[in-house]
Structure 1
Amino acid sequence: MRFILPMFFPMFKKTFSLAFVFVFFMNCASEKKDTDLTSLAILGLLGSSSEYTGTCTTTFGAGVPNWIQTSFTCVTVSVSGSNYVFKFTSVPTYKSIYWGSSSAGYESTMYVNSGQANAKNPNLIKSQNYTLTVPKDNQNTTATTSSFGMIGVSTNGIAIYNDQAAPGDSLSTEYYTFDSSQGHPTNTGSYHYHVEPPKISNNDSKLVGIAQDGYLIFGKKHDSTTTGLTTGFTLGGASSSTKCTGGGLDTAVPTTWAGATDYNTTKTSNTRYHYHVNNGSEVNGILLSGKLIGTGGSAN
């Protein structure tokens, strides 16, 4: 295994072997203290969770429109030809049980469901290196099957997954591992959302994020309207859809969204198709289903 040493420990690199032996001996002799910075640094090298800071970096390049700049945080966005490129680490700035009990970001509470109680999975949050490339003006509506893993990004820089769990599991089971903000990490530490995140949206019309095909994701309501927004939905179904199907509402974004005016000036009616959080409760309040609206974009 090759270790990459943090730049903020200039002398640590030269004394790594000695420090490792010293800390290993001390940890065997007595209980490790959370304030032991050398121990925590080495644990970080060995694959512990990312450091909780409660802050993030937000950067916008030339040509990035105002509706993105006023709606998204914790992302780096640039323009590349006919695409917007979102780069993000998918690290939450809020507290979670998945920061681990030794972290300043730790909280023991989890989401309260109407069914069974939530229970933590064994994973911890780790910084990712995600790139989401979305078309600036997609007009394609040929629904394609969405993939596992990240296929969108939320307005607070968290990865969005569809309504399917990893093979061999189901979202209806995984749902009971969500933290108080309705998120959880994978076995590689990738923190993400499957369902309506209360940190962003709660039965409203707020912008939640953007999908790989370039179409926006809003809360359950289109302004004050909910009828017909998420018809034909089946949890984990390959043909399910969360596309807005209300009469005339599928090509008109909610006017209650602060970025609507700027967004509409740069779009035509055929590029304003969008998603809504599925109009169901808890595990059924999914963000993206087994089908996207159209072809386009990439996620890695």
Structure 2
Amino acid sequence: MKSFKLINLTVLLTSVALAGCDSSDDSSEDTSTSTSTDVSALHSAYAEFDTDNVSVALSGTDVVIETNGLPNHTSPYWSTDNELFVEPTVTSYDEMAPGNIDDFVGTYTLTVAASPEKASTSSSTGLGAIGIAVSGSVIYNDEEGPGIALDNAVGSLDYNGAHTGPQSFHYHLEPVSFSDDDSNLVGVISDGFFLYGRKCNSTGTYPTDLDESGGHTAQTQHSDSEEYHYHIENEVYLGSYYILFPGDYQGTASAIN
């Protein structure tokens, strides 16, 4: 398994005060007149990412996230000789998607703003990877294919709401290995906003003010002030599941390559 380390690269910007979550596109080197945010350290939420699978580095006012796509927890989708392999429970060998987790050899890279801002309009997530989870694997939306609802594929999902294909192991539903009806960090969506579990850390209850993407502005365990972030919506899907991200991006998304 490829090993990564969390990297915190300090950006030295003089004469600029740390200004919360806001950022500016002003890239001027004249910091005496610049109003841009001094992004001098990674957001503390990035410390939650598994450092064996994910590397995170601050590069100017951007964050570069690279993952080997492998999860840090058990699944029936590992090869049977892998130490993290377990027998299927909520799925079966007959229903499982083809391929094993360890068949994937490669990386995913996502570059987002260190201080993301909401866009003037939302945008569709589309198919494929839309975020990177703290475990190292990627996050997908609520579709199994173009215009194809996830309903018919639920039988192939493991106990973390994940399966393989078309490229690698990925999550569609609440991943109970690291977020089970709680406020834990799930990952980062490709517009730079973090995704948390169904509960709000600041209240300990389910948020009631979520927008159509499951987002709102509130304090988290990783912020001293209120900031926009997403939650797994507390809406039951097919009787017992919770979809990770059923909405549109509220920020400006970058491709995960």
TM-score norm. by structure 1 comes to 0.65
For residues 87-98 of structure 1, the aligned pairs below 5 Å read: 87-98=66-77
Matched-pair contact (CA < 8 Å) for 1:135–1:296:
no
Alignment equivalent of 2:151, drawn from 160, 164, 172: 172
- After TM superposition, give the deviation of residue 109 of structure 1 in Å: 2.2
User: Does 1:203 find its partner at 2:203?
Assistant: no
Aligned twin of 2:235: 280
Matched-pair contact (CA < 8 Å) for 1:195–1:282:
no
Q: Deviations over 1:97-146 (max 9, x none)?
A: 1123344432212337xxx9993122211233100111111222321111
**CA 1:92 to 1:278, structure 2 compared with 1: closer, same or farther past 3 Å?**
same
Alignment equivalent of 1:65, drawn from 35, 42, 59: 42
Q: Distance in 1 between matches of 2:173 and 2:62?
A: 26
Aligned twin of 2:214: 243
Matched-pair contact (CA < 8 Å) for 1:118–1:178:
no
- After TM superposition, give the deviation of residue 196 of structure 1 in Å: 0.8
For residues 97-176 of structure 1, the aligned pairs below 5 Å read: 97-111=76-90, 119-125=95-101, 126-141=104-119, 142-167=121-146, 169-176=148-155
Greater fraction of residues in helix: 1
Stretch deviating more after TM superposition (219-228 or 204-213): 219-228
Matched-pair contact (CA < 8 Å) for 1:135–1:297:
no
Q: Look at both structures and tell me which one has the larger radius of gyration over its CA atoms.
A: 1
Q: Deviations over 1:25-52 (max 9, x none)?
A: xxxxxxxxxxxxxxxxxxxxxxxxxxxx
SS of the residue corresponding to residue 199 of structure 1 reads coil
For structure 1, the residue ranges without an aligned partner over 5 or more in a row are 1-52, 232-240, 245-249
Q: Deviations over 1:269-290 (max 9, x none)?
A: 5xx2111101123565112224
**CA 1:107 to 1:147, structure 2 compared with 1: closer, same or farther past 3 Å?**
same
SS of the residue corresponding to residue 251 of structure 1 reads strand
For structure 2, the residue ranges without an aligned partner over 5 or more in a row are 11-40
SS of the residue corresponding to residue 279 of structure 1 reads coil
Matched-pair contact (CA < 8 Å) for 2:8–2:42:
no
Greater fraction of residues in strand: 2
What is the Cα-based RMSD across aligned positions, in Å? 2.6
Q: Distance in 2 between matches of 1:212 and 1:69?
A: 14
Q: Distance in 2 between matches of 1:111 and 1:292?
A: 30
Q: Distance in 2 between matches of 1:181 and 1:290?
A: 20
- After TM superposition, give the deviation of residue 91 of structure 1 in Å: 0.6
